[in-house]
Structure 1
């Protein structure tokens, strides 16, 4: 049985990468980060911020001077050592699938297995094929598959090499929105079913919020913000520039399903939320994203409102928004935090200040999985 199939195995990693020397015009990489048992690390930032350079350096595909890289206490690069890519036990999923066009899906997978010369592959092979739902594709050639199907095969090929860490460089970038929505559930299955850390590069807030356990935000070759998806995306940050996408990410459990009204009750740290068709199976774990622009504030609850979710809250702090007519109000709701994006005039009319008790109305909540 492979390490990835050991359910009780807890994988821990520590990553170090330092590169302060300018490597191309007007760009330098200066990173110093240490990660311990991070799960899925979302590496977020605009194009040209250093995300792919970081990933390629970690993989050994790019050898930068003065870099220091280690994984699980193994030094992969320093002034005296450089471990080549094929000896780093990594799986790498690129934007393009890279499948061999003259081989069927099964032959592509078998080729990956043969290259590793691993034994006891049957259990892993069946699990990978099942989780990524590619049984029906095994006899097809790559040009007979959709973009999403090809990327699922590419992920399967990487997993069959039994890596100790999986690197994913914007794997959905070449797909349209429909195909992205189709493949995201499979990425979630991989992160949940295989005990393996994942470094996931993307410039999509939705992808990172949905998949990541920990987020690194890159800007001009530096990490300018890091933390849980909730802590990173729940505030206006000049380095991120989210504006309308500021919001919180909450993990919840479906505690009830109303078949008549087709409403799911989702229990979260901020209380129970009624969400249309969030799921019908009680006990299912889901992730919910609530944008600040979808949260409004009032002094008393409204019994005749069309907005179903109204919760008691306390104001923690106010902060500026990129739009100077607006402000962000950070709130404590039970043991969770919410953020509301409202006008400065509304703040004045409601006399909103830290410590004030209010009611929040949640106009919309997006189920991420």
Structure 2
């Protein structure tokens, strides 16, 4: 039975099958294109070198769709060892999408994994911006803290660097309310031979300065990119005059930078106490340093500093800023004055 262009209903929603693909003897229907890099496509059977896609798929039955899955098309033939590492990584992370099927072909690798309900971080951020609601300081730090733990576990488990941290590669889980990584593909590229597609346009803004300058990256590169996510959640824009990791390409070592300090931008949107502001400023200056040598030397140090910052800013937000405390005192004094006048 041909399912090409057939329409199926699954849990109250209709999907049109745009094509089919077989992965290890299972036939999956291509339901919705989630992301694409390159002009070729597996739909047109011209999936040449450099094609990279992510699809919403489902194993096809006779009349209905089965469970939804995610299909990732990587533009290289991964070694069996790398696939085993990826399998171990997803098995060890309760929030990661479990791998169901994988197949290596001549110049690409197909990976079918569990579909995690939710929306991409990029869509979530656009929705927040469209509603003119800022993510609260506590919520942004909570998500960032979970991301730091996940990346530290990734580094520890694989000995590799993610290398491609940006909003499209994370899902805001509708059940867990955590940032869930859905794309580890770029982690398998040698960092001293980063392909050009990772440092062009949108990707370049999220890559660490050393990657943009063509240097070798390490786990500290992920520190920088992950903190860009925190900054965007808090402000709706990238730091360094919206240049992100590309700022290093325009910096003049003989003069002061022309962009606002990251902390000053955050203070335009969030009220933070003086002491907490100092802690946040020191943290951002270190983790967003252009020189990776000035960032946290280990993931353990990064996690420890993140936990300390989270506790301090959470406690500060409960107490309120100095301005808020003064306003509260003035209201109290005014109310007491009214009570005295009523008695007289």
Q: When the two structures are superposed, what TM-score results if normalisation uses the length of structure 2?
A: 0.26
Q: When the two structures are superposed, what TM-score results if normalisation uses the length of structure 1?
A: 0.25
Structure with more strand by fraction = 1
Higher RCO (CA < 8 A, seq sep 6+): 1
